[in-house]
Amino acid sequence: MPREHGNPINRALVGVYRPLLRTALAHPRAVLAVALLVLLATAYPATHIGAEFMPPLDEGDVLYMPSALPGISPGKVTQLLQQTDRLIKTVPEVASVFGKVGRAETATDPAPLEMFETTIQFKPRSEWRAGMTPEKLVQELDQVVQVPGLTNIWVPPIRNRIDMLATGIKSPIGVKIAGADLQVIDGLARQVEAAVRNVPGVTSAFVAIVALPLGVLAALIAMHLQGLNANILSLGGIAIAIGAMVDAAIVMIENAHKHLEAWQHAHPRETLGNDERWRLIADAAVEVGPALFFSLLVITLSFLPVFSLEAQEGRLFAPLAFTKSYAMAAAAGLSVTLIPVLMGYWIRGRIPDEQANPVVRGLIAIYRPALDAVLAWPKTT
């Protein structure tokens, strides 16, 4: 394989990228200040962007899914179900209530006996009380249904099913702690909450978490300046760009981890100094930064042919092309300025060895045989 710097195109790209990176790392606080100003500057445009063809995502119905204490008897749980159904029906906007506890006679429903599933259907909006909204309705239901021993959860049915299929729990994030003593469980839950904040590598994820909304907000500013309305296609363009923005941040972070891990292996008894850490971050950024920067620019230019469309198709797809290009251009700029600075501030401490993680070892053990088989039979593949 030819050396990377032997390629004149690569040398030119590095020559363009290195001054930008050197400037960003030499003035990290200024870069963060500019990013903060951009964030604040989106307050006005984000609240004044028009909207068109934005159908509401209100599912109409609500699913009431409280959880009772484990070990509850069938007779008691039936009594609680009837009690909650009667309380829910007292709200004037409720048209019908259908509750279920336990599992159906099918292997596809693993619900325990203590989990309620009550589907609430509402009357047409024209029959609601004046000033009543879905949010206020859920708040009123939560105040009406106050039963000791039940923890209220009010969720849209479809969104809840998607979350439960994906994770097995009724909320987007959860940690399951089991035990016989409720006080011990509560104490352990608080300890888990405190411990998760200090898990090695968590702060690395913050680099992508912070950079992602800044790219989106930059696209919103451009939309406001151009006078573009928010619709499904324009927001879809931003959604398409989000994947590329996250990929760019992950590649940069992973390469920084590898450089820091290599230094730790080479100097096992030394402590990494601040200047040396910033140098390693800069080396990691220079190694993959030019390729990321110009690949994002290429993606930015990929939708230029859409601007040549005319008539109805041009009016339909132009918003998507504009917003996607704006978001990708912002991502390209962030990849050479903000992301290296955030890595310098947030990737700290000892980087855990990849092979020390049992999950990673398990994934490698699954992946390696498949890779070996593919490489052993390249023509068949």
The candidate with the shortest Cα–Cα distance to 216, out of 236, 237, 235, 238, is: 238
Q: Pick the residue with more confidence: 56 or 344?
A: 344
pLDDT at 126: 87
Rounded distance between C-alpha atoms, residue 318 and residue 305, angstroms: 10
The candidate with the shortest Cα–Cα distance to 316, out of 307, 325, 329, is: 307
Per-position DSSP letters for 161-174, written without gaps between them: HHHHHHHSSSSSS-
Q: Pick the residue with more confidence: 224 or 173?
A: 224
Is 244 a residue whose pLDDT tops 50? yes
| Best mean pLDDT range from 7-11, 222-226, 363-367 | 363-367
* Residue 372 neighbours by CB under 8 Å, 6+ apart: none
What's the whole-number mean pLDDT along residues 29-39?
82
pLDDT at 131: 85
pLDDT tens per residue, range 253-267: 878 888 888 888 888
Q: Are the beta carbons of 189 and 227 closer than 8 angstroms?
A: no
Rounded distance between C-alpha atoms, residue 247 and residue 125, angstroms: 43
The candidate with the shortest Cα–Cα distance to 223, out of 48, 9, 68, is: 48
Q: Pick the residue with more confidence: 233 or 85?
A: 85
Q: Which of 16-30, 36-50, 162-176, 356-370 has the lowest mean pLDDT?
A: 162-176
Q: Which of 5-9, 176-180, 218-222, 316-320 has the lowest mean pLDDT?
A: 5-9
pLDDT at 172: 44
Q: Are the beta carbons of 153 and 141 closer than 8 angstroms?
A: no
DSSP state of 177: -
pLDDT at 162: 67
The pLDDT > 70 percentage for the chain reads 80
Mean pLDDT computed over every residue of the chain: 77
Rounded distance between C-alpha atoms, residue 78 and residue 102, angstroms: 10
Q: Could you give all domains of the chain from N- to C-terminal order, each with its CATH number? A: 4-51+200-350 (1.20.1640.10), 62-155 (3.30.70.1430)
Which pLDDT band holds residue 28 (cuts at 50, 70, 90)?
confident
Which pLDDT band holds residue 228 (cuts at 50, 70, 90)?
confident
Q: Are the beta carbons of 185 and 179 closer than 8 angstroms?
A: yes
Rounded distance between C-alpha atoms, residue 243 and residue 85, angstroms: 43
Which pLDDT band holds residue 164 (cuts at 50, 70, 90)?
low
- Helical pair 28-41 and 202-226, crossing angle rounded to 10 deg: 50
pLDDT at 282: 85
The pLDDT > 90 percentage for the chain reads 1
Q: Pick the residue with more confidence: 365 or 167?
A: 365
